[in-house]
Amino acid sequence: MGRDRLNLLYVSQFPPAPPTFGAQRRMQGLMAALARRHDLTAVSLISPDLDTATVERALRAYCREVVLVPGWPWQGPHKRLRQLRSLLSIRSFERGFYDMPALRRALDSLLSRRAFDVVNVEFPFLALQRLARGAINYFPNVDGILYLLREVWPRIAESHPGARLEIVGQHPTPEILAFRGPRVEVVGMVDDLRPHLARAAVSVVPLRIGGGTRFKILEAMAMVRPVVSTSLGAEGIEAEPGRHLLLADDPAGFAAAVGRILDDAQLGARLGREGRALVERRYSWQAAADRLDVFFRELLAA
């Protein structure tokens, strides 16, 4: 394959843009970076609660063609019914929920009139069959925030009477909202996280369960903010504890780590600088897209 520009097709179960949670940010960041040197086409399911015109406009900022296929509502009884049915079926819930005839027809039509060098599929079952990556109501986030509020924050509040806690994210649960007070603010969803990070003395990631992409840490590092995380929360990031961030896995240790940064502005500044350098070197969208580009070309040359 000697051509510089490749024709890339991205197929996803939800639109990459406008991003409101981690998986969307991952897809959009990579796609926007790849679009600087390749031609991208996006095919995506879109739930009824999203505005089609807004989604299409956002995707066309970096996609040559956009195909949006109406999908099932993400919330409500229809989803719960399918989850229950999946317990008695050999078909997974994900396959039953996303594997739609309209999506197959859209792909058949597109692939019959255009050739693509690489097809990136976000549906594992569809990839195997046909073609050849925080919300506060997400349970691991709920667990982590409640752990912070119940076991860590009281220690910080006692040792640092001037400290305030700000919780940002969409769909906060009633259990989290119950902790609101003069020193605990639950902001909810915001259009732009950057102003909130910019004024934070420290960003905390008290994650204890779950997987996913560690955008919480990378976003804070990109904003030159010091980070305190559990070991699980930082899993998969090539960060050196004490240099790029602080790690702690018990309430007392976590509160003490936050306190160290609150008490030592130089420590916070150093962690912020080192974290930013790590993100620029290893985790920028362009760096990730460059590695993906190399993989695509190796795949085509094989």
33-68 pLDDT, tens digit each: 999 999 999 999 998 889 999 999 999 999 999 999
Q: What is the mean pLDDT of the chain?
A: 85
The answer to whether the beta carbons of residues 5 and 258 sit under 8 Å apart is: no
Distance CA 243, CA 239 (A): 8
CA pseudo-torsion sign 178, 179, 183, 185? negative
20 versus 83: the higher-pLDDT residue is 20
DSSP code for 188 = E
Q: Domain 7-133 is in which class?
A: alpha beta
Name the helix (H) or strand (E) containing 52: helix 52-59
The answer to whether the beta carbons of residues 219 and 197 sit under 8 Å apart is: yes
pTM: 0.62
80-122: per-residue pLDDT in tens? Answer: 676 676 676 666 666 667 778 888 889 888 988 888 988 888 8
Tell me what the mean pLDDT of segment 197-216 comes to.
Answer: 83
Task: Give residue 189's Cα distance to chain centre.
Answer: 14
Q: Residue ranges of the domains in the chain?
A: 7-133, 139-283
- The end-to-end CA distance of the chain, in Å, is 10
Architecture of domain 139-283: 3-Layer(aba) Sandwich (3.40)
